[in-house]
Amino acid sequence: MEHSWNRNTLALLLIGLAAQKAGAQPIIRFSDPGAAWHVAWTRPAGDINHPNFIGTTTTTYRFNGDTLADGISWQRMYSEPAWGGNPGALFRGYTRQEGPVVLFRDAGGTVDTLYNFALQVGDSMRFGRPGSGFEDKLAVLAIGQVLVNGVAHKVFHFSMSTVHYTLESFLSDTWIEGIGSIHGPLAPWNGAGLGDSYPSGIPDSTRLACYSQDEVVLWQHEGYPACITNIQLSVGQQADAVLRAYPNPAHGLVTVEVPAGGNFAVSLHDLLGRVVLRMARIDTLQLLDLRSLPPGPYVLEVHSESGARQRTRVQLQ
């Protein structure tokens, strides 16, 4: 059968183990009623009304009860943001597991394969909601394994698509047996917000930060310091004048240009919000030596004496 979703090949290198008990444990099943998926969404330009916005926020997916449809029992899945007060849980649809196959049923009654953990190398799955016009087919390139709670689970590596649907992504994905996509539990069907990177390499995507059962973390993505990450660097008051940083992308040396006659400080943040460089005062033309930092996207923030600030994204190659 076929289905849908998305991946970053390098993300698999970050997969880690949070073993909670010694000895053999039952294999994890996607349908476990106590399962919870904590999904981090990173948005360098997540709000078109505030183009300098950058943030990472977490949404938790979990089951809440069962429902009968055509005489068959389905689990109800909800998502709830771990930020912005208490907006309440959002119903996402129904799932059920039949052996290695996980099915998804939307509110309108459409049923589709969400996961098939019996796939072999060369088999393919469809990415995208059926009939949505956002569909692609990806093939299994390789199958490895990772320990989860002391038990070996298959890891499915899918091909990178040749179809370039959006600015955000070339479609691809990685699955962990019983847990699902590294982009979140409904990634194969949903398809929204799952881009791995812009052509320049700036992420705007979802990542599974943690998987837990009955509040016990069984797997955690090593790229996230905690299961819940809510960081928003953004919006705020803009600087008194235009900030320029060039070249961009850069190979380690970046010139920052600010208006003459003002007193400005500068800080550089990675996409988890951590400050990786800070200068209390910079010249009108300030050369930053960033060659010690790993390649990737960063956020450059300049502060004026009045408290105004401006941000721009910098890509290191």
Q: Is the pTM of this model over 0.85?
A: no
Same-domain pairing of 107 and 196? yes
Task: Tell me the CA end-to-end span of the chain in Å, nearest whole number.
Answer: 39
- Quote the pLDDT of residue 74: 97
Same-domain pairing of 118 and 173? yes
Band (26; pLDDT cuts 50, 70, 90)? low
- Spatial neighbors of 146 by CB under 8 A, at least 6 apart, are 15, 17, 152, 153, 155, 176
- Quote the pLDDT of residue 222: 80
Same-domain pairing of 298 and 161? no
Q: Determine the longest span between alpha carbons in the chain, in angstroms.
A: 74
Tell me whether residue 4 is in a domain.
no
Pick the closest to residue 41 from 153, 173, 209, 165 (CA basis): 209
The CATH code of the domain that includes 272 is 2.60.40.1930
CB 220 within 8 A of CB 16: yes
Q: How many domains does the chain have?
A: 2
pLDDT digits (tens, 9 = 90+) for 38-94: 998 776 544 444 545 567 788 999 999 999 988 899 999 999 988 765 567 899 999
**SS3 of 40, please?**
strand
Tell me whether residue 152 is in a domain.
yes
Q: What is the domain extent for residue 262?
A: 236-316
Same-domain pairing of 123 and 149? yes
Structure tokens at 301: 């923030």
Same-domain pairing of 153 and 250? no
Q: Which of 232, 259, 274 is the last residue of a domain?
A: 232
Same-domain pairing of 184 and 296? no
Q: Which of 170, 203, 232 is the last residue of a domain?
A: 232
Peptide bond into 100 cis (omega under 30): no
Same-domain pairing of 66 and 130? yes
Tell me whether residue 190 is in a domain.
yes
Same-domain pairing of 176 and 42? yes
Q: Which of 186, 216, 232 is the last residue of a domain?
A: 232
Same-domain pairing of 107 and 29? yes
Same-domain pairing of 251 and 284? yes
pLDDT digits (tens, 9 = 90+) for 148-175: 988 999 999 988 665 544 333 456 788 9
Tell me whether residue 1 is in a domain.
no
Tell me whether residue 47 is in a domain.
yes
pLDDT digits (tens, 9 = 90+) for 56-65: 788 999 999 9
Same-domain pairing of 141 and 278? no
- Quote the pLDDT of residue 69: 87
